């Protein structure tokens, strides 16, 4: 089938929001950028400190060395902001794809801008950490999915919610469908078992960061726009359908091997609710 007009790279949410109440002291406290191990409660991993001049200050990013390309993409965004003389403070928030980055202003003269991500190994809605490997690694995988499918992504945020069938994250085979978000803290994503939804099923609303902890591979598809569906078997994305029910990416075809007999069932919202409504 013919693909959509042209492939787009990851659609980033470039909004910079700064609170009116000012000051350059953030809630996370000053932190030296770590060197050699990851911050947070997760497994230790090698890290590298990257830097970028920003006016009279310097931006510092700490991440796994293998994520250098993602750091360069982040620095390209910051260079655009620098060219527009956008001031960065400890109250600046930078939503990007699925995560929100913040800054701590450090050093005796406030000359160090340390980029931080939510503390995904702890309490990401309350705490941050000066190590971006999780944010950048997921962004890289999401960008790869958008490039394969050939569609512009639509951002979510780590503390927004996904409507799920209770227990579905433990299922081997499941699918995600994104409907237009009703607003509030809902992403529009819904997750159900491939076998379908039975009457009286229990549902729960989970924040994106909880899915990151319990089934991180599912985040790979979560920048696909409303109307799209993504099928998973274990951690493998196996098929993507667009809003017209057209298969726009298939794992078997990508691996150049014959598809298994019998297509996966296409379950669409509209023939009855995919999941019952759930209040925010």
Q: Does 122 lie in the same domain as 76? A: yes
| pLDDT tens-digit map of 22-47 | 333 333 344 444 444 444 345 667 99
Query: What global pTM score does this model have?
Result: 0.78
> Confidence band (pLDDT; 50, 70, 90) for 197?
confident
- Measured CA to CA, the distance from residue 160 to residue 162 in angstroms comes to 7
Q: For the chain, what is the domain count?
A: 2
Helices marked H in 175-266 — which ranges? 208-214, 251-254
The answer to whether position 32 is within a domain reads yes
Q: Does 81 lie in the same domain as 132? A: yes
Q: Does 179 lie in the same domain as 123? A: no
Average pLDDT over residues 223-245: 97
- Measured CA to CA, the distance from residue 203 to residue 150 in angstroms comes to 32
Q: Domain range spanning residue 226?
A: 158-254
> Confidence band (pLDDT; 50, 70, 90) for 82?
very high
Q: Does 209 lie in the same domain as 114? A: no
The answer to whether position 277 is within a domain reads no
> Confidence band (pLDDT; 50, 70, 90) for 71?
very high
The total number of residues shown for the chain amounts to: 280
Q: Does 224 lie in the same domain as 119? A: no
Maximum CA extent, the chain: 66
| pLDDT tens-digit map of 157-177 | 999 999 999 999 999 999 999
pLDDT of residue 254: 84
Q: What is the mean pLDDT of the chain?
A: 81
- Measured CA to CA, the distance from residue 42 to residue 117 in angstroms comes to 14
Our CA dihedral for 225, 226, 230, 236, rounded to 10 degrees, sits at: 40
Q: Does 162 lie in the same domain as 133? A: no
Say if strands 186-193 and 161-165 run parallel, antiparallel, or are unpaired. parallel
The answer to whether position 135 is within a domain reads yes
pLDDT of residue 43: 60
The answer to whether position 25 is within a domain reads yes
| 148 phi, psi to nearest 5 deg | -65, -45
Contact 50, 71 (CB under 8 A): yes
Q: Does 32 lie in the same domain as 122? A: yes
Q: Does 180 lie in the same domain as 111? A: no
- Measured CA to CA, the distance from residue 15 to residue 5 in angstroms comes to 26
Q: Does 209 lie in the same domain as 104? A: no
The answer to whether position 152 is within a domain reads no
Pick the closest to residue 272 from 211, 192, 218, 205 (CA basis): 192
The answer to whether position 85 is within a domain reads yes
Pick the closest to residue 15 from 155, 183, 187, 224 (CA basis): 155
Q: Which tokens is 161 given?
A: 């919610």
The answer to whether position 275 is within a domain reads no
The answer to whether position 260 is within a domain reads no
Q: Does 126 lie in the same domain as 86? A: yes
Does residue 14 carry a pLDDT above 70? no
> Confidence band (pLDDT; 50, 70, 90) for 256?
low
């Amino acid at each position: 089938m013919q693909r959509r007009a042209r492939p787009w790279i990851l659609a980033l949410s470039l909004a910079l929001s700064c609170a009116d109440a000012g000051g350059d002291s953030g809630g996370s406290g000053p932190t030296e950028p770590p060197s050699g191990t990851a911050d947070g409660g997760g497994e230790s991993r090698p890290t590298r400190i990257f830097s970028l001049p920003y006016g009279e200050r310097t931006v510092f990013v700490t991440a796994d060395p293998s994520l250098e390309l993602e750091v360069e993409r982040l620095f390209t965004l910051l260079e655009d902001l620098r060219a527009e003389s956008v001031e960065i403070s400890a109250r600046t928030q930078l939503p990007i794809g699925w995560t929100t980055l913040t800054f701590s202003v450090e050093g005796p003269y406030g000359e160090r801008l340390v980029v931080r991500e939510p503390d995904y190994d702890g309490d990401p809605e309350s705490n941050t950490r000066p190590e971006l490997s999780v944010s950048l690694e997921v962004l890289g995988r999401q960008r790869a999915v958008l490039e394969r499918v050939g569609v512009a992504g639509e951002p979510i945020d780590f503390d927004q919610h996904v409507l799920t069938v209770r227990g579905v994250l433990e299922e081997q085979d499941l699918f995600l469908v994104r409907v237009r978000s009703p607003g509030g803290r809902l992403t529009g994503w819904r997750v159900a078992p491939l076998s379908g939804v039975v009457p009286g099923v229990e549902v729960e609303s989970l924040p994106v960061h909880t899915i990151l902890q319990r089934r991180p591979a599912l985040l790979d598809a979560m920048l696909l726009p409303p109307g799209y569906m993504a099928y998973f078997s274990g951690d493998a994305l196996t098929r993507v359908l667009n809003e017209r029910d057209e298969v726009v990416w298939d794992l078997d075809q990508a691996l150049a091997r014959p598809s298994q007999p019998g297509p996966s069932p296409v379950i669409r919202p509209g023939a009855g609710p995919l999941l019952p409504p759930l209040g925010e």
